[in-house]
Amino acid sequence: MKILMQHLEFSFGSLNGDYSEQTLENFEYMFNRLEEDNLGYVHFDNVSEFYFNGITNEDKRVLKETIIANSKK
């Protein structure tokens, strides 16, 4: 599957956002490791690749739904 980086960034905006400093650092680490292709897409096999330590189960569910919906645009 693939998703435009812009749509992926929008997907993360749907999260609760009330996280500890360590969780935010975990997010930054995960996000900075993502690579875009020359058209601006991030390729992935499973949405769980975008999960990071400290994210809640509810936010995992929301993130999964949002990423799948945005990857179809």
User: How do residues 16-54 score in pLDDT, each as one tens digit?
Assistant: 778 899 999 999 999 999 999 999 999 999 999 999 999
Residue among 68, 16, 25 nearest 47 (CA): 68
Rounded distance between C-alpha atoms, residue 1 and residue 16, angstroms: 25
Confidence at residue 14, expressed as pLDDT on a 0 to 100 scale: 85
Domain ranges of the chain: 2-71
Query: What is the pLDDT confidence band of residue 73, given thresholds at 50, 70 and 90?
Result: confident
Confidence at residue 17, expressed as pLDDT on a 0 to 100 scale: 75
Q: pTM, whole model, 2 decimals?
A: 0.84
In this structure, is the dihedral angle defined by the CA atoms of residues 63, 25, 53 and 55, taken in order, positive or negative?
negative
